[in-house]
A = this chain, B = another copy of it.
Amino acid sequence: MGTKRMGKQTIRLESRPVILASASVGGKQESKGPLAASFDYLSEDTYFGAKTWESAESAMLKKCFDLSLQKAAIQADTLDYIFSGDLLNQCVGSAFGIKDSNVPHFGLYGACSTMAESLSLAAMTIDGGFANTVCALTSSHFCSAERQFRLPLNYGGLRPPTAQWTATAAGSLILSAEGEGPVVTHVTTGKIVDAGVTDANNMGAAMAPAALETLCTHFADTGRTPDYYDIIATGDLCEVGSAILRELSSLNGYDLSSNHNDCGLLIYDRGKKDIAAGGSGCGCGASVLAGYFLPKLRSGEIKRLLFAATGALMSPTTTLQGESILGICHAVAIENLGGAC
């Protein structure tokens, strides 16, 4: 038992679960960003045809889920499990989004690390022999998140330069035991790291120590060095957190300067004032992975990606109570082992 373990917290998936297809959906702000062309669907209607911000998020997630099934050329009833979660209280974004799917469901909460968490568990469920086909998906919506975590939009609250812009986006991945596509080879599951940061407008700083912990452990567990990967993509440390991560990594003997990027830095035009330090939200990393990185892995443009999504574990209540913002980071190694696939 436990034979798939490598080192302290990494597992090797020898059956190499395949990412058959992926889809991403975005909103208005995303359609103006540099990755606009990477989305499968962009909506000018922030409500996605729904009546509330919360049901808009569910409608967006459902659209993304449907598109990923379409791209994988399967029906929902082929799926053995869905792993999903989101930022909304009680994860209602994804629960209402997939309520009519009729697929066994595991609900997750990993804040902005949710795509790495759902991808980890989806791949493990296939590698463990429990499933043939599994969906990993997540979303976030700027308007539902702002209302819940900060201020109602109508207040027009100002944002400090360290703040991050919650993406209105969703990402959905279909994994399978068979087929063609990039494969999941390793999973390094993160521990909760309390760096003592209490500023809810500086999530990057709160999460960077968790990213450091998981990345260093991944390298130690696998014997790999950062240059094994074409890209090490964190999400979403943005400007502040990324700088901290690179500096701390270097102090720990791991040079990330040539191949580190961050989903929160990629998704928006950095010149825009509102965007501040960059993008965030479960949907940011998920849509950048699904729409931007996975097609590059599929075409062979990149061969090895370490996707390391970070989450800030806090609620507005704990922040008001003076608690620190806990960080977590899960890393998933995704590789193209053949040519274009």
Q: Which A residues are closer than 8 A to B by beta carbons?
A: 1-5, 9, 11, 15, 51-52, 54-55, 80-81, 85, 87-92, 95-96, 98-111, 117, 120-121, 124-132, 148, 177-178, 189-192, 194, 311, 313-318, 321, 323, 326, 328
On chain B, the residues within 8 Å of A128 by CB distance are 4, 124-125, 127-130
Rounded to whole angstroms, the CA-CA distance of A101 and B191 in the bound complex is 8
| Copies of this polypeptide in the complex | 2
Q: A126-B1, A313-B92 are in contact. Are A107 and B110 (CB under 8 A)?
A: yes
Rounded to whole angstroms, the CA-CA distance of A160 and B127 in the bound complex is 48
CB distance from A175 to the nearest CB of B (A): 11
A2:B92 contact, CB within 8 angstroms: no
CB distance from A123 to the nearest CB of B (A): 10
A130:B5 contact, CB within 8 angstroms: yes
Rounded to whole angstroms, the CA-CA distance of A145 and B177 in the bound complex is 41
With A1-B129, A5-B80, A54-B315 given, name 7 new contacts (CB 8 A): A2-B132, A51-B321, A90-B111, A96-B318, A96-B326, A124-B125, A127-B128
On chain B, the residues within 8 Å of A191 by CB distance are 101-105
On chain B, the residues within 8 Å of A55 by CB distance are 321, 323
Q: A55-B323, A107-B108, A129-B3 are in contact. Are A88 and B189 (CB under 8 A)?
A: no
Task: Kindly identify which residue among B90, B109, B131, B190 contacts A315, using a CB–CB cutoff of 8 Å.
Answer: B90
Which of A89, A125, A127: most chain B Cβ within 10 A? A89
Closest CB pairs A-B (n = 6)? A128-B128, A1-B177, A104-B189, A2-B132, A95-B313, A90-B315
Q: A2-B129, A131-B2 are in contact. Are A326 and B192 (CB under 8 A)?
A: no
Name 13 interchain pairs, CB-CB below 8 A, sorted by A.
Answer: A5-B130, A55-B321, A91-B109, A92-B313, A99-B192, A99-B194, A102-B191, A104-B189, A106-B108, A106-B189, A107-B108, A109-B109, A121-B121
Rounded to whole angstroms, the CA-CA distance of A326 and B91 in the bound complex is 12
Which of A55, A80, A100: most chain B Cβ within 10 A? A80
A108:B105 contact, CB within 8 angstroms: no
On chain B, the residues within 8 Å of A11 by CB distance are 130
Rounded to whole angstroms, the CA-CA distance of A189 and B81 in the bound complex is 8
CB distance from A7 to the nearest CB of B (A): 12
CB distance from A152 to the nearest CB of B (A): 13
On chain B, the residues within 8 Å of A323 by CB distance are 55, 92, 96
CB distance from A51 to the nearest CB of B (A): 8
CB distance from A50 to the nearest CB of B (A): 10
CB distance from A82 to the nearest CB of B (A): 9
Q: A90-B314, A177-B1, A316-B89 are in contact. Are A326 and B99 (CB under 8 A)?
A: yes
